[in-house]
Amino acid sequence: MKGEIDRCKFAIDKAKEGKVVSIISSGDAGLYGMAGPIYEMIDDLEVEYIPGITAAFWQLHRLVHL
């Protein structure tokens, strides 16, 4: 997970410079993705967490709306 931590640090550094940044990751960002490291490394930055839709929910949606 070294590369992911480096991405988090880079994004946080840019945010501290006043840039608007985003981190996009696959999988469940809250369980085994990027949300945990970001929340652990931020100091006084505002973070908005926007979860995605899992493939299973998307398939259920497609079945219900045939």
Residue 13 has pLDDT above 90, yes or no: yes
Give the integer Cα–Cα distance in Å for 2 and 18: 25
pLDDT tens-place string over residues 19-33 = 999 888 776 655 567
What's the pLDDT at 17?
A: 95
> Given a cut of 80, is residue 44 above it in pLDDT?
yes
Higher pLDDT, 28 or 66: 66
- Other beta carbons within 10 angstroms of residue 38's beta carbon come to 22
Report d(CA 60, CA 25) in Å as an integer: 22
Q: Flag whether the pTM goes above 0.85.
A: no
Residue 25: closest CA among 37, 14, 42: 37
| pLDDT of 37 strictly over 90 | no
